[in-house]
């Protein structure tokens, strides 16, 4: 059953994020993807996530597809205007990439090309509206398309600082759902109990909620997230667990696996995010018992 | 100067019709010079609004006032004694002035009466043209005092595109090709050598690419 059908059937979906290379060496991407073929429902391919210039998500998705993996392509508005976005969406459909996440993008000032001119011609809600318009056979200017695409479109909820911000982000997600998003990717979940309030509220959005599970690669990263993103709710217990471990790398994998297992009954899916450690995804799946 | 044009009357009526008493506020700076929001335009708009509302059977009290500068908190403070008498403010300043009012008077609805346009210069009586986009890294010293950022439709930095014909831009025959102007100017100054220097990709951070800009003069800031 493909991703779209699983969502519709309320089945649990398992997604893994894989970044394209900064360059043309695709061997790592292809090898990592092959190792999880059949173990995840789809590979999520970010575009220039975190503002890092790299090979486009569309090319990454096509590579995955050639290897028989279903893909979900990131699209966002920082780097392309409405014409380029529509053109890429049509190209994606033709190339067999029918699943799209309209994602938040890091500000250009945070990118590795901070002197570039940000585009931001559309915002994310408008992009979703545009994709839905393409599905109905019209471009943004109202011109008829010669053949219309169809997509499964999701949106993201970025990290938030407090309950008030969470409500604001949920209200924004509501707008994106009204515009046409049919699933939502949440920020990283580190503490299941602490996240339960938010996940409960998110479930009221009425579309499948897919939680992000982020691989903590080291004690330093755990401490960095705890200090710089207090909303991420990395507990002292978690920090202590990693610190005391004789194999911190393995401990991070174990924690990610346990988190996935615990989320299985609470959300409709999980997105595994490893930011460069995609080769560890099979071990995370092992730890999750999947 | 910052140029502006008045919004359509219908839009302004929609803004003010829920209120019985409004303050219609002009600005004595740029929008006076471009005849969009000075004392004279305040009077004209007040009459227009009152007539239109009367026709539709409603009545509104419009207090008229014009500040020296709406973008300056020192002048905005002048409004304190008169603000309570009005339920809302209709500002005829540029967007900077409107926001200054909204920041100062947090419990008053503030509406813009103008559409702020661009930083421009007067070409002749009644004609203003865009001259500057505030990119924060002025290239006029290299381009003969003529700006390709504000005056080239594509913001090209190294000469004209293929749409430059007979000194005109492909966007409209009313628009000069700025690179023709720059070329002519550099030639007349004997500075053609400047034209061949390749201008590198622009750093847009200074032009707002990194978010809203702010200038802090440590020697002046309180």
Residue A161: pLDDT above 80? Answer: no
pLDDT score of A232: 78
Cβ <8 Å between B201 and A107? no
- Give yes or no for a contact between A17 and A46, defined as CB atoms under 8 angstroms apart: yes
Contacts of A108 in chain B (CB under 8 A): 204, 209-210
pLDDT score of B209: 83
Residue A76: pLDDT above 80? Answer: yes
Cβ <8 Å between A108 and B209? yes
Calculate how close chain A gets to B132, using CA atoms only, in Å.
17
What pLDDT, in 10s, does the model give residues A105-149? 999 999 999 999 999 999 999 999 999 999 999 999 999 999 999
pLDDT score of A212: 97
pLDDT score of A233: 81
Cβ <8 Å between A116 and B207? no
pLDDT band at A182 (very low <50, low <70, confident <90, very high): very high
| A108 at B interface, C-beta within 8 A | yes
pLDDT score of A228: 81
pLDDT score of A227: 85
Residue A164: pLDDT above 90? Answer: no
- B2 three-class SS: strand
Question: Looking at residue A275, which CATH number applies to its domain?
Answer: 3.20.20.220
Calculate how close chain A gets to B212, using CA atoms only, in Å.
12
List the domain range (segments joined by +) for residue A186.
3-288
Cβ <8 Å between B210 and A116? no
What pLDDT, in 10s, does the model give residues A89-101? 999 999 999 999 9
The total of structural domains in chain A comes to 1
User: For chain B, which residues make up each domain, given as ranges?
Assistant: 2-118, 133-200
Calculate how close chain B gets to A115, using CA atoms only, in Å.
4
> Over chain A, what is the mean pLDDT?
95
Query: How far apart, in whole angstroms, are the C-alpha atoms of residue B147 and residue A85?
Result: 30
Phi first, then psi, for residue A99 (nearest 5°) are -110, 130
| B212 at A interface, C-beta within 8 A | no
Instruction: Please name the residues in contact with A181: beta carbons below 8 A apart, sequence gap of 6 or more.
Output: A102, A128, A153, A154, A155, A173, A207
> What are the E-state strand segments in chain B?
2-6, 21-27, 61-67, 88-91, 110-112, 114-124, 127-132, 168-169, 172-176
Phi first, then psi, for residue A42 (nearest 5°) are -160, 155
pLDDT score of B31: 98
CATH of B2-118 among 3.20.20.20, 3.40.50.2300, 2.60.40.650, 3.90.420.10? 3.40.50.2300
pLDDT score of B208: 86
Query: Does the global pTM surpass 0.95?
Result: no
Residue A8: pLDDT above 80? Answer: yes
Instruction: For residue B34, give the nearest of B66, B64, B1 by alpha carbon.
Output: B1
Sheet harboring B21-27: ordered strands across? B61-67, B21-27, B88-91, B110-112
Contacts of B200 in chain A (CB under 8 A): none
Query: How far apart, in whole angstroms, are the C-alpha atoms of residue A264 and residue A282?
Result: 17
Mean pLDDT score, A71-86? 97
What pLDDT, in 10s, does the model give residues A189-235? 998 988 999 999 999 999 999 999 999 999 999 999 888 877 778 88
pLDDT score of B194: 86
- A247 three-class SS: coil
| Percent of residues, chain A, with pLDDT higher than 70 | 100
Which of A79, A115, A119 should we substitute to test contact with B (largest number of B Cβ atoms within 10 Å)? A115
| A110 at B interface, C-beta within 8 A | no
Dihedral, CA atoms, A224, A227, A228, A231, nearest 10 degrees? Answer: 120
Instruction: For residue A95, give the nearest of A144, A66, A62 by alpha carbon.
Output: A62
Q: Which residues of chain B have pLDDT under 50?
A: none
Cβ <8 Å between A118 and B205? no
Query: How far apart, in whole angstroms, are the C-alpha atoms of residue B141 and residue B147?
Result: 10
| A81 at B interface, C-beta within 8 A | no
List, in sequence order, every residue forming a beta bridge with A167; answer none if it has no partner: none
pLDDT score of A1: 81
């Amino acid at each position: 059953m493909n991703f779209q059908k699983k969502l519709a059937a309320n089945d649990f979906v398992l997604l893994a994020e894989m970044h394209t290379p900064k360059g043309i060496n695709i061997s790592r991407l292809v090898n990592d993807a092959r190792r999880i073929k059949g173990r995840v429902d789809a590979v999520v391919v970010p575009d220039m996530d975190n503002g890092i210039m790299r090979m486009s998500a569309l090319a990454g998705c096509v590579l995955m597809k050639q290897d028989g993996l279903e893909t979900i392509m990131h699209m966002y508005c920082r780097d392309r205007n409405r014409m380029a976005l529509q053109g890429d969406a049509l190209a994606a459909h033709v190339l067999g990439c029918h699943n799209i996440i309209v994602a938040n993008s890091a500000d250009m000032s945070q990118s590795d090309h901070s002197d570039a001119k940000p585009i931001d011609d559309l915002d994310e809600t408008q992009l979703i509206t545009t994709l839905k318009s393409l599905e109905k056979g019209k471009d943004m200017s109202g011109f008829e398309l010669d053949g219309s695409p169809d997509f499964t479109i999701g949106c993201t909820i970025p990290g938030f600082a407090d309950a008030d911000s969470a409500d604001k982000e949920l209200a924004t997600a509501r707008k994106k759902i009204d515009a046409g998003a049919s699933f939502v990717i949440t920020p990283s979940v580190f503490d299941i109990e602490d996240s339960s309030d938010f996940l409960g509220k998110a479930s009221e959005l009425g579309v499948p909620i897919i939680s992000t599970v982020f691989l903590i690669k080291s004690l330093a990263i755990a401490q960095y997230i705890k200090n710089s993103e207090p909303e991420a709710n990395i507990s002292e217990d978690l920090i202590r667990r990693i610190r005391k471990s004789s194999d911190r790398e393995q401990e991070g994998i174990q924690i990610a696996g346990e988190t996935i297992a615990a989320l299985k009954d609470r959300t409709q899916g999980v997105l595994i995010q490893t930011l460069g450690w995609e080769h560890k995804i099979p071990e995370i799946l092992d730890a999750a018992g999947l | 100067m910052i140029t502006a044009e008045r919004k359509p009357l219908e839009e302004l009526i929609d803004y003010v019709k829920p209120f019985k008493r409004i303050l219609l506020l002009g600005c004595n700076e740029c929008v006076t010079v471009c005849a969009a929001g000075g004392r004279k335009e305040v009077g004209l708009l007040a009459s227009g609004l009152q007539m239109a509302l009367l026709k539709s059977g409603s009545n509104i009290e419009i207090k008229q006032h014009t500040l020296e500068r709406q973008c300056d908190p020192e002048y905005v403070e002048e409004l304190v004694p008169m603000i309570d008498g009005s339920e809302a403010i209709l500002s005829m300043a540029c967007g900077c002035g409107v926001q200054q009012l909204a920041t100062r008077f947090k419990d008053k609805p503030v509406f813009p009466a103008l559409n702020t346009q661009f930083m421009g210069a007067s070409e002749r009586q009644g004609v203003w043209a865009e001259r500057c986009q505030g990119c924060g890294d002025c290239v006029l010293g290299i381009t003969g005092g003529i700006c390709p950022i504000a005056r080239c439709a594509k913001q090209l930095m190294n000469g004209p595109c293929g749409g430059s014909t007979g000194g005109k831009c492909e966007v409209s025959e009313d628009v000069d090709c700025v690179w023709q102007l720059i070329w002519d100017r550099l030639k007349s100054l004997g500075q053609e050598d400047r034209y061949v220097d390749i201008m590198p990709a622009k750093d847009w951070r200074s032009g707002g690419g990194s978010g809203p800009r702010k200038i802090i003069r440590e020697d002046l800031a309180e």
